[in-house]
Structure 1
Amino acid sequence: MGWVVIESYSFPYEAQIAKAKLDSCDIPSYIENEHTINMNWLYSNAIGGVRLAVPESFKEEAYSLIHQDFSHEVVQHFEIPVEHCPACGSPEIEPYTQGKRSAFLVFIFLGFPLFFYKHGLRCKKCLHFYSDQ
């Protein structure tokens, strides 16, 4: 029975969280390169990151468990209010900075920064921008 790497992470804490999820389902696993990257985190990309390995017989089950998204269940359980776009009512909202591109271009061409950008939220569906305050 051989071991296979199912995921690679940049930081050891990410691999520890994934390993804890596998341990809770009685799937054996181990972490490679954790201590090396703890000593010098700049090595992470050079050596392939912190790798999480499982036995080949658990490969499919472990991979699907690691990649499950339970965020919608957390929102439902704790009754976190979902924000909706004021223009179209869509719940697909993302943080967005309006004017960032033009401020960057002014800085590149004129050599001094202009801070005329504004932070807020943008609807992914209708692209409506609004301030979150």
Structure 2
Amino acid sequence: MHWVVAETYSFPYEAQIARTQLEAMAIPARIENEHTINMDWLYSNALGGVRLLVPQEYLSLAQSILAQDFSQDVDQILGSEQISCPQCGSTEVEPYTQGKKPAYLVFLLIGFPLFFYKNGMKCKKCQYFWN
């Protein structure tokens, strides 16, 4: 079996995701240079990136699958719920960690981490934070 490069990636996790996509479609795939780049990611460009290899006879099918965007399918399966701000009702919200900067400053000053930060959501419009 003659293996050829179907796609190249900068990071190993991208190649792992692509390999999983191909294997779900019953296309054999393997990854080359993954461990070298995991050990020192600066070698990525020198080695030509992390290479995703498939057998020659699957090349065109693999490239067409990798070119597709499945994000809408995932949203339909998972039922993407819109999160809205309880303060103003805006849907422009993002995950946010409150108190991260003061915790970092305390760590710099006394050399001991104090974990008094909270993870939650923050509205981009009114800056309201909630868990």
TM-score interval w.r.t. the shorter chain? 0.5 to 0.7
Q: What is the CA distance between 1:122 and its match in structure 2?
A: 1.2
Q: What is the CA distance between 1:29 and its match in structure 2?
A: 6.5
**Quick check: 2:5–2:51 contact (8 Å CA) kept in 1?**
no
Under a length normalisation based on structure 1, what TM-score does the superposition of the two structures give? 0.58
Residue 45 (structure 1) aligns with: 41
Give ranges in structure 1 of 5+ residues lacking alignment.
none
Q: What is the CA distance between 1:30 and its match in structure 2?
A: 5.3
Residue 64 (structure 1) aligns with: 67
Give ranges in structure 2 of 5+ residues lacking alignment.
none
The residue type paired with residue 85 of structure 1 is C
Give the length in aligned residue pairs.
Answer: 119
Q: SS of 2:84's equivalent?
A: coil
Residue 98 (structure 1) aligns with: 98
Deviations 1:30-89 (A, max 9, x none): 53224xx1xx7753515425322578x959856633xx251x433333435332111232
Match of 1:7 among 9, 29, 35: 9
Moved more, 2-11 or 91-100: 2-11
**What is the root-mean-square deviation in Å for CA atoms of aligned residues?**
3.8
How many angstroms apart in 2 are the aligned matches of 1:25 and 1:64? Answer: 17
How many angstroms apart in 2 are the aligned matches of 1:46 and 1:111? Answer: 31
How many angstroms apart in 2 are the aligned matches of 1:10 and 1:42? Answer: 7
How many angstroms apart in 1 are the aligned matches of 2:10 and 2:65? Answer: 13
Under a length normalisation based on structure 2, what TM-score does the superposition of the two structures give? 0.59
Q: What is the CA distance between 1:97 and its match in structure 2?
A: 1.3
Residue 17 (structure 1) aligns with: 17
